[in-house]
Amino acid sequence: MTETGISRTAEIRAVARVDVARAEAMLQRLIAALFDIDVSDLKINADQYSLNSLNGFFVSAGQELFFKFHQEEGEEQMRGEYYRADILARAGLPVDQPVHISTLPGEQLLVYRRRADPRFSDVLFELDRSSDIAAMARAVAAEAELNGRILSCARASIAPITPEDSCAEPIHRLFHERLIDQDGGRYPGGRLARFYVGKRFAFPGGVTIHWEDLHDASPVINGIEYSRSLGEMFDLAWRRYAPERLADAGGIVAHGDAHNANVWYERGRDADHLAFFDPAFAGDKVPSLVAEVKSTFHNIFAHPLWLYNPAMAAEHYEATVALKAGKLVIDTNWQLSSVRRQLLEAKARTFWKPWLATLSERGLLPADWEDVVRIGLFLSPTLVMNLNAGEGAERHNPVSSAIGLSVALAAGSRPVAGRDVFTDFFAAIAP
């Protein structure tokens, strides 16, 4: 911790936004002190996927190493333990083991041997804009194989858990704890309040809409009306994603944050394979309906472009937004790419459908399971970064903001009538 009470990783992330060279020097000193090793040639990666983390490379004793840390605001007050890679390895999941690890609050950092393998996120970024059918097939097959291993691990480790067990799992930092203030648990608080509450939103064509109007407006997205407003989705999330309430579907061993920037892509002669790293939110009692929600959204519905590459999204897509008689009307020409649709089908077929069937057979599938999954899909983009392009804007622009809100709202809420990609997904996985 620094003298001001701010964690050292938080301070370094803040400095890196304005002075990368200074942040690199600070990190070099921190890593050397944490692990009592020589550190030289440290470089922070310019990485669009590192929304809440930093990563990069350095040299120690002639060995090239890779570092990564995840940093949550207020993490020094949070419960649970970061970075339990050993849990995943013992359960038989493919996970890269760090050579150095620090789990100290505010100084949580992993160091790995540097690999030549690309991250799966980088492979898929290229495939989003490719017509290479063979390469897509290899990537989807690797995803299906990993899903099979996740499913096997989930089936072997599923067990009833108590509300206290659930509360101890760090995965809640990705969801419920971003809805509330860490000091006192006030709702709306945390990122929800900082990003959206009371703010003015900017959309294409100079359209501006205030939070109070967005909060209650009925979404109409590409001609389809949806049953829940933005405010209703956040309120439902605050209630249903309370950590103690998520114990009802049991707990499993899981990575919890396996978006594809945390997955290595290992190319083989006959087939390619995937391996996890950065298990910041891994656990052995992870609520079973939440464990794969974030990876499902971030690896599929966040692409192409809009979440991680908002400037490129504005160049490739168009969007219009209007507030009409209490309805939030959003029209965009964004859609999933071919490879993302194939990944969605693989995720549904090789993980979600058999997993929900397993929970049902064991009496652990709550009646509102679809709402639970939808809430997680909704929260994944809205709380990972600020989707507002207006007051307090960070990375998003009016076009990417419109696309992001439209995808999040469609994920979280059923259509009043008709169907969309999410209703087709839930129909495909229903037990």
Where is 328: in which H helix or E strand?
strand 327-332
Neighbours of 184 (CB within 10 A): 8
Hey, what CATH class is 8-113 in? alpha beta
Q: Which of 410, 404, 409, 431 is nearest to 422 (CA)?
A: 410
E strand spans, 80-135:
100-104, 107-113
Average pLDDT over residues 354-380: 98
- Report CA-CA distances (Å) from 411 to 15, 82, 191: 35, 28, 20
What whole-number distance in Å separates Cα of residue 214 and Cα of residue 230? 7
Q: Which of 328, 330, 315, 361 is nearest to 154 (CA)?
A: 361
Q: What are phi and psi of 369, to 5 degrees?
A: -55, -40
Q: Which of 227, 253, 249, 351 is nearest to 299 (CA)?
A: 351
Average pLDDT over residues 88-117: 89
Check whether 111 has a pLDDT greater than 90: yes
Q: What are phi and psi of 68, to 5 degrees?
A: -155, 140
Position 353 confidence tier, pLDDT thresholds 50, 70, 90: very high
| HSE-up of residue 224 (Cα within 13 Å, Cβ side) | 22
Q: Of 44-58, 64-78, 394-408, where does mean pLDDT reach its minimum?
A: 64-78
Check whether 304 has a pLDDT greater than 90: yes
Handedness of CA 29, 31, 34, 39 (dihedral sign): negative
Give pLDDT tens digits for 208-232.
999 999 999 999 999 999 999 999 9
Q: What are phi and psi of 271, to 5 degrees?
A: -155, 155
pTM for this model (two decimals): 0.92
- Report CA-CA distances (Å) from 135 to 77, 125, 274, 294, 336: 45, 12, 15, 25, 18
Tell me the pairing of strands 327-332 and 218-221: parallel
Give pLDDT tens digits for 201-211.
999 999 999 99
The length of the chain, given as a count of residues = 431
Q: Where are the domains of the chain?
A: 8-113, 120-429
Q: For tokens 């939070």, name the residue.
A: 211
The fraction of the chain above a pLDDT of 90, given in percent, is 86
Position 155 confidence tier, pLDDT thresholds 50, 70, 90: very high
Position 83 confidence tier, pLDDT thresholds 50, 70, 90: low
Check whether 79 has a pLDDT greater than 70: no
Check whether 78 has a pLDDT greater than 50: no
Check whether 50 has a pLDDT greater than 70: no
Cβ atoms of 67 and 110 within 8 Å: the answer is yes
pLDDT at position 107: 77
What whole-number distance in Å separates Cα of residue 26 and Cα of residue 401? 34
Q: Of 42-56, 329-343, 358-372, where does mean pLDDT reach its minimum?
A: 42-56
Q: What are phi and psi of 429, to 5 degrees?
A: -105, -10
Average pLDDT over residues 310-325: 97
pLDDT averaged over every residue in the chain = 93
Residues 6 or more apart in contact with residue 229 via CB below 8 angstroms: 215, 216, 217, 218, 219, 328
Q: Give the DSSP per-residue string, 254-315.
A: E-S---GGGEEEE--SS--EEEE---TT-EEEEETTTTTHHHHIIIIITTTTTTT-HHHHHH
Give pLDDT tens digits for 244-274.
999 999 999 999 999 999 999 999 999 999 9
Residues 6 or more apart in contact with residue 23 via CB below 8 angstroms: 12, 13, 15, 16, 44, 54
Give pLDDT tens digits for 174-194.
999 999 998 999 999 999 999
Average pLDDT over residues 322-330: 97
